[in-house]
């Protein structure tokens, strides 16, 4: 009886290992691994992505306006850290994590000057949650040229 239950457990383990291996091989053959960043196509026409860009700008503006002034940094309407006006998302990548993490290149106006910002937003649809993780001036490097790193 013990030998039979051991055999059944061993066969189940082998089956699970086989399924896992097939899943990994399939993902590699399609050119992407689970958890890897993927480019979002047709960003300018994608309403969800544009809404996430607006959300990131709104959250950034809320954060800087709620932050008390400090002699160590310039925060306010006129400085380089002042509020921004959303124009559009020009580039986006998606990564499945505990939710979906979006890496956005947001074009916005700040102090009358057009600027590009990097934003990272995590969306958890099952709990109706969106959270801005990062928002700041973008370096002059495209997402595709930068190394992929998890935050």
Check if the beta carbon of residue 52 is closer than 8 Å to that of residue 130.
Answer: yes
Predicted confidence at residue 119, as pLDDT, reads 97
Q: What pTM did the predictor assign?
A: 0.66
Note whether residue 151 is domain-resident. no
96 and 44 in one domain?
yes
Look at residue 34 and tell me whether its pLDDT is greater than 80.
no
87 and 126 in one domain?
yes
In this prediction, residue 8 has a pLDDT band, given cuts at 50, 70 and 90, of confident
DSSP state of 97: E
Note whether residue 110 is domain-resident. yes
Segment 97-125 mean pLDDT = 96
Residue pLDDT, tens place only, 40-98: 999 999 999 999 999 999 999 999 888 776 665 544 433 456 899 999 999 999 999 99
Look at residue 23 and tell me whether its pLDDT is greater than 80.
no
Number of neighbours of residue 92 by Cβ within 10 angstroms = 25
Residue pLDDT, tens place only, 123-142: 999 999 999 999 999 987 55
Total structural domains within the chain: 2
Look at residue 29 and tell me whether its pLDDT is greater than 50.
no
52 and 27 in one domain?
no
Note whether residue 73 is domain-resident. yes
Segment 106-135 mean pLDDT = 96
Note whether residue 135 is domain-resident. yes
Note whether residue 150 is domain-resident. no
103 and 64 in one domain?
yes
76 and 91 in one domain?
yes
81 and 11 in one domain?
no
119 and 135 in one domain?
yes
Phi, psi of 136 (to 5 degrees): -165, 170
Note whether residue 83 is domain-resident. yes
In this prediction, residue 21 has a pLDDT band, given cuts at 50, 70 and 90, of low
Segment 27-34 mean pLDDT = 52
Look at residue 17 and tell me whether its pLDDT is greater than 80.
no
106 and 62 in one domain?
yes
CATH code for position 58? 3.10.450.10
91 and 22 in one domain?
no
Q: How far lies 78's CA from each of 82, 130, 135, in Å?
A: 6, 28, 18
Contacts with 141 (C-beta within 8 Å, 6 or more apart), sequence order: none
Calculate what percentage of the chain has a pLDDT beyond 70: 62
Query: Helix, strand or coil for residue 132?
Result: strand
Domain enclosing residue 124, as ranges: 37-145
């Amino acid at each position: 009886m013990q030998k039979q239950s051991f055999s059944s457990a061993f066969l189940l383990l082998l089956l699970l290992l086989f399924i896992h291996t097939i899943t990994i091989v399939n993902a590699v053959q399609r050119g992407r691994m689970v958890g890897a960043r993927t480019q979002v196509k047709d960003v300018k026409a994608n309403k969800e992505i544009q809404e996430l860009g607006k959300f990131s700008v709104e959250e950034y503006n809320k954060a800087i306006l709620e932050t008390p002034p400090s002699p160590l940094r310039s925060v306010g309407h006129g400085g380089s850290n002042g509020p921004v006006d959303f124009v559009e998302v020009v580039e986006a990548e998606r990564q499945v994590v505990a939710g979906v993490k979006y890496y956005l290149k947001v074009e916005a106006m700040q102090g009358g000057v057009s600027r590009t910002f990097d934003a990272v937003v995590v969306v958890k649809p099952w709990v109706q949650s969106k959270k801005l993780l990062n928002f700041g001036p973008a370096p002059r490097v495209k997402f595709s040229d930068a190394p992929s790193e998890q935050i």
